[in-house]
Amino acid sequence: MSTTLPAPAALAAGFRAILGPDRVLDGAVERDLYSRDGLVTDGDCALVLLPETAAEVSGCLREAARLGLAVVPRGSGTGLTGAAVPLEGGVVVSLARMRRIGEVDVANGCVWVEPGVLNLDVSAAVAHLGLHYAPDPSSQAACSIGGNVGTNAGGPHCLAAGVTVQHVLGMEIVLPDGEVLVLGGPAPDPPGYDLRGVVVGAEGTVGVVTRVCLRLSPLPPAVRTVLLDFATTAEAGSTVGGIIAAGVVPAAIEMMDTGMIVAVEAFTHAGLPTDAAAVVLVEVDGSPAQVEAQMAVVERVAREQGVRQVRVARDEAERALLWKARKSAFGAVARIRPNSYLHDCVVPRTRLVEVLHEIQRIGREHDLLIVNVFHAGDGNLHPLIAYDRRDPEEVARVLAAGDAIVELCLSVGGVLSGEHGIGIEKRDAMALAFSPTDLAAQACVRAAFDPAGRMNPGKVLPAGSRCGEAALAGREVHVPDGAWI
């Protein structure tokens, strides 16, 4: 792979022959805009490519291979771990113009869509058929299906429904040399190795996804949403665990602490109790009888744990307002400080309250404001650090606090990410979560798809993952003993 690249204009000719002059961007401003995502880290790219078909993506990857260029796939750029940040120059392949939704296969409950389709647009396109796409990231109005596949995105309603990988039946992917493959599809049990699970969550390190076959789910006949508020986070946390222990797995269980409640209420005016230590938003769905039975359990457990108020949404308008409050949380923090740094670790539900207290201690230790909103049902924490990126000293404290939060979550049996992925942000922490043999096995899988190491280099796997380093150096890949066990 090239380390010293010619000027962007000198690289552009071959790509312009494929895409035309208007869909190859080499200006300094455009390259700067496409060299960042939602993380604090910026990168640098030589060119931005805007393909509109799989054939064009294939042609661009063949040209990139001929030139030895790194390739960074990009969706909407809403990612929070730097997965779309180009670290070694090369080209950014933006898939934002690939936004076609195919004909819905109602009989098989699926639809093929292109990677630039926005998450929320899928459900909007199939709602008239009584269907929806279940994974719903908080950024669903802006994030793309391709990005969701790259990070294995989740969302509030993934507690019962499952995250992206459970809803991807197949995909079309362009390999680094331009070859186009179709993996999986509508068939319920396709033969051979299930490579969908390798591509979902791979963050663009194995190829460029150009179509995705999504599982569609029936819209529930009845839905009930309730807001519970508590005087202590311990009571709120015990309620979350108690509901599931009682045999009810709601469609969603979300939690916000005091700092986040105050910020969100000032932004949405949803009537949230700003004097509460924590609120828990619970949604149940199913048949009317199922909803009534589940709601009875939710209210009983909440009252046993000392809930102060049980606010059941009276109608769809109030339900939408409560969800607007939850899904506006990250943007609302901008009312406090101009920037925010969001984490994504997962911890056991039984350790939620303990971990929240420790996160507040980390905030005090680093003199930072940390507010919390998270998918409480599956322990997917989203501590959000408010700061000003114009202050280098504060940025350093933010990054140090982030590292401390990751180490804390791993120490209680947690994992690095529930839905945002690894990218740059948690790449070096992978060595804390996986053994050298584990990392080597993952690197060998990556090298099988991308032997030259040109797809999104510097992401996910840390330096020292042996197969990846061997591929980048052009050496023979060695599979260590036991790596595949």
What is the distance between the alpha carbons of residues 335 and 69, in angstroms, rounded to a whole number?
41
Q: What is the per-residue DSSP string for 363-380?
A: HHHTT-EEEEEEEGGGTB
Give the Cα separation of 166 and 162 in Å (integer): 6
Of the candidates 385, 423, 381, which has an alpha carbon nearest to the alpha carbon of residue 402? 385
What is the pLDDT confidence band of residue 3, given thresholds at 50, 70 and 90? low
* pLDDT for the residue numbered 4: 62
pTM: 0.92
What's the Cα-to-Cα distance from 284 to each of 61, 133, 300, rounded to whole Å? Answer: 45, 17, 14
DSSP assignment string, 16-81: HHHH-GGGEE--HHHHHHTTB-SSS-B---SEEE---SHHHHHHHHHHHHHHT--EEEESSS--SS
**Distance from C-alpha of 340 to C-alpha of 324, rounded to nearest angstrom:** 19
Digit-coded pLDDT (tens) for 139-153: 999 999 999 999 999
| Res 5: pLDDT | 66
pLDDT in tens, 84-135: 999 988 999 999 999 999 999 999 999 999 999 999 999 999 999 999 999 9
Q: Decide if pLDDT at 476 tops 70.
A: no
Question: Is the predicted pLDDT of residue 475 greater than 50, yes or no?
Answer: no
Find how far residue 198's CA is from the centre of its chain.
Answer: 16
CATH for 110-218 is 3.30.465.10
pLDDT tens string 448-474:
999 999 999 999 999 877 664 443 344
Domains 222-330 and 337-411 share a fold: yes
Among 6-10, 19-23, 67-71, 163-167, the least confident range: 6-10
Q: What is the maximum alpha-carbon separation in the chain?
A: 69
- Residue of 169, 160, 210, 159 lying closest to 189 (CA atoms): 169
Q: Does residue 175 surpass a pLDDT of 50? A: yes
Instruction: Report the alpha-carbon distance of residue 24 to residue 207 in Å, rounded.
Output: 20
Which CATH fold would you assign to the domain 337-411?
A: Alpha-Beta Plaits (3.30.70)
pLDDT recorded at residue 187: 86
Amino acid, single-letter form, for residue 12: A
Domain 222-330: CATH architecture, name and number where available = 2-Layer Sandwich (3.30)
Confidence of residue 225 (pLDDT cuts 50, 70, 90): very high
User: Interior CA angle at 330 toward 324 and 332, to 5°?
Assistant: 75
pLDDT above 50 (res 193): yes
CATH class of 8-94: alpha beta
Question: How many Å separate Cα 365 from the centre of its chain?
Answer: 28
Percent of the chain with pLDDT over 70: 95
Mean pLDDT of the chain: 92
Count of C-beta atoms within a 10 Å radius of residue 28? 8
Cross-strand pairs, 105:
110
DSSP string computed for 223-267:
EEEEEEEESSHHHHHHHHHHHHHTT---SEEEEEEHHHHHHHHHH
Radius of gyration of the chain (CA): 23
Domain ranges of the chain: 8-94, 110-218, 222-330, 337-411
**Cα–Cα–Cα angle for 122, 128, 129, nearest 5°?**
85
Comparing 10-14, 257-261, 263-267, which segment has the lowest mean pLDDT? 10-14
Beta bridge partners of 182: 172
pLDDT at 347: 96
Whole-number Å distance between alpha carbons of 353 and 370: 15
